[in-house]
Amino acid sequence: MTGVTVVGGGVIGLTSALALAEAGHRVTCVRDVPAAGTVSAVAGGLWFPYHVEPRERVVGWGTVTLERFRSLVDLPAAGVTFREGVMVERGPADRWWTEGVDRWREAASAELPPGAPSGVVCTVPLVTMPVHLAWLEERCRHVGVVLDEGRVEDVEQVEDDVVVVAAGLRSGALVGDDGPQPSRGQVALLANPGLERWLVDDDHPDGMVYAIPHPDWVVCGGTDVLGASDTEPDARVHAGILARVRSVVPELADAEVLGARVGLRPVAPSVRLAHSTVRGRRVVTNYGHGGAGVTLSWGCAEEVVRLVAEGHGP
């Protein structure tokens, strides 16, 4: 049994803590904000490796996560379903991400927004993040993870044998590198009028469009502004999101607006998942997941467990 402190309480931190505890380690998870206050809570929760590298590793991590989500669909408290939807393509088809997807097909023209030449129809996990994060916290407590509220400013503050840095945008400062950059994502929340199919049209000529339906609301987007760190919703951006999504998804034309949210994606040239020594401390880093924290969460958590056990990188 190794004493491990996980710094970070979003989906990456919580899955890392849970996987480590399930592997028999003594785990403390320290977070400066509760899970409901993290960028993970704003996420649409669709399994898709968005804005993340390197592809050759992402496929493996994503496939592991997809299979773990498959095992959770019969647990309503976990907030995981599998839903069919359309990934719209407006440029050359680049379908590297389908490697881990069981069933997919070409989208018919009637399934595509006007002007879109092609797309992929597939069934993938859809995770209702406030529900899933609460379930992760409960599972962590059940297997003995100590969930502490606090702010770690330096890995030297931590007394355990190993520190797992999974603090999103704050991670770089803890280990002395440039760390991830923020990419501002604003979404609109609409009451769900019965929409069941998701749609993503990242390259829509009027701006990014997506509609991700959950039982009571639809997460509609969106924006992806690298380097922007303002977390207050912008009314003009909000109006633009509503206009685009209602044009592309007519079922939402009269849906009640529930609000707007902003999250800052932690974007890096590649996910930093490695073992290192920082100021004499054993550290495993797990950050830089961009817009794919949910998608890679369990795969990366499994690798964290391996790195803690082996004491060296991939």
Q: Judge contact between 131 and 78, C-beta under 8 A.
A: yes
The structure tokens 């990419």 sit at 183
State residue 166's pLDDT score: 97
Strand residues in 9-117 grouped as ranges (E): 26-31, 80-89, 104-106
Residue 301 three-state SS: helix
Report the Cα 313 to chain-centroid distance in Å. Answer: 23
CA 107 to chain centre: 25
Tens of pLDDT, residue by residue, the chain (314 residues):
789 999 999 999 999 999 999 999 999 999 998 888 899 999 999 999 999 999 999 999 999 999 999 999 999 999 999 999 999 999 888 899 998 898 899 999 999 999 999 999 999 999 999 999 999 999 999 999 999 999 999 898 898 899 999 999 999 999 988 889 999 999 999 999 999 999 999 999 999 999 999 999 999 999 999 999 999 999 999 999 999 999 999 999 999 999 999 999 999 999 999 999 988 889 999 999 999 999 999 999 999 999 999 864 44
Q: How far apart are CA 232 and CA 225, in angstroms?
A: 14
| Domains of the chain, each with CATH number or no CATH | 3-82+124-180+268-310 (3.40.50.720)
Helix (H) / strand (E) containing 151: none
Which residue in the block uniquely carries the two structure tokens 């073992």?
A: 275
How many Å from the N-terminal Cα to the C-terminal Cα in the chain? 22
pTM above 0.85, yes or no: yes
Q: Are 180 and 288 in contact (CB under 8 A)?
A: yes
> Phi, psi (5° rounding) for residue 295?
-65, -35
- As a residue count, the chain comes to 314
SS3 label, residue 187 = strand
Residue with tokens 């950050």: 287
Q: Half-sphere exposure of residue 62, counting CA atoms within 13 Å on the CB side?
A: 27
